[in-house]
Amino acid sequence: MEKKIDELLRANADIFVICVFDSDVSTHNEHERKKLEQLQQKYQNNENLILCNSLPSIEYWFLLHYENTNRHFNNAKAAETALKRYINNYQKTEHFLENEKWVKDLCAENKLQDAIKRAQKFVPEYGSYSNVHKAFEILCNSNR
């Protein structure tokens, strides 16, 4: 991930990079936790990059579109199971994720705004969290 971020940032001074990733591995793997901390520290003052992580996974961010919860999910599979109550055919595959319909459904009826508000309330120290909302706040409120 760091190599790709560096490559993108070096390629164009006007680029803005949004890096979205799952944090579950860093919670039970000391080496991965240290790598994540180093990555966050390295880029903490870079105005052309935002790191958007979710614990346990991106499925939690999607779930916030439907539920107001920060309950602790043990792993990505648990978050995915909860999400499937709302998107029963959800799969973390390229084929599924490229389909526009589920994204349109995810954002219909102000669900994106609901997810942003919900995510803003939940902090990493208590239960599950996602800061993917920060990317949407930047994209919706800037001329990037």
The model's pLDDT over 121-137, given as tens digits with 9 standing for 90+, comes to: 997 878 899 999 999 99
Residue 43 and residue 53: Cα distance in Å, rounded? Answer: 14
Query: Full-prediction pTM beyond 0.85?
Result: yes
Handedness of CA 103, 48, 142, 132 (dihedral sign): positive
Q: What is the mean pLDDT of the chain?
A: 92
Percentage with pLDDT > 70 across the chain: 98
Percentage with pLDDT > 90 across the chain: 76
